[in-house]
Structure 1
């Protein structure tokens, strides 16, 4: 990124670096999913990298954190509709509103013990879950399907 006002870079004056992790709160595949060559954006200055002589920038810190916004609207014990997005050995990820994902641990997937998530749900399934924990600091949402009356397994 070229800086309007900033420290001189030895090869590319006015250059700042915005890592993938600092580009967006949402998942994306390529930088062009977030920004385009020639696009003007405002970023937050994080630090000056004295080794590379360039500014480290963050585009995502200029936008509200969608997890925190989502966490303001829900409470532990609340039921949420969602869609299974990923199966992992110890549970499944379920995406609710605003593209926020939470984890349903294997023990919370059904009323009876389950050996593998695929025995109960598949990616793309729409399920109802209950919020069991909201960890704002770590940006994690714990969910339970077992605690919903509709989880019949």
Structure 2
């Protein structure tokens, strides 16, 4: 009965808990919680910003605060989110930036175009057909924000 309980061992969904990171793995972190409970936060629940290695966000021995997302009763584990307690940078960007011209840094070059970091924790795509020159990671670009889809976490950009 994984993730179907709404309360377990004195905790319920939405509770905020504090614990200590005991193990860091490429897929997430394990957290020791009060009452000898084990917590786990998967990589997508660690931070709003993109990172290359989990150790860039947390380290063993670090105290963390997280929101309870679910319970895995079979594994006796509490599923956690560290990023849930931080403001979503996409919301602020969406409120302020649609239709505007912004500066950003190229973070990835792909066959479909280039990804540009337009704010902390926010990246968008300039499609290949809209690029007016070759770009490399680290290049600064001025781009127009032509579309934002919060549900799909996608931002459409055009070279400004």
Equivalent in the alignment of 1:100: 122
CA–CA separation in structure 2 for the residues paired with 1:68 and 1:131: 14
1:93-130, Cα deviation, whole Å (9 max, x unpaired): 111222421100112223xxxxxxxx622222222111
Aligned length: 130
Please give the TM-score of this superposition, normalised by the length of structure 2: 0.73
Which of these residues, 41, 50, 55, is aligned with residue 27 of structure 1? 50
CA–CA separation in structure 1 for the residues paired with 2:134 and 2:83: 36
Equivalent in the alignment of 1:128: 142
Deviation at 1:51, TM superposition (A): 2.5
CA–CA separation in structure 2 for the residues paired with 1:41 and 1:56: 14
1:55 aligns with 2:55: no
Unaligned runs of 5+ in 1: 6-12, 111-118, 149-153
Unaligned runs of 5+ in 2: 1-30
Find the structure with the greater CA-based Rg.
1
More strand by percentage: 2
Please give the TM-score of this superposition, normalised by the length of structure 1: 0.76
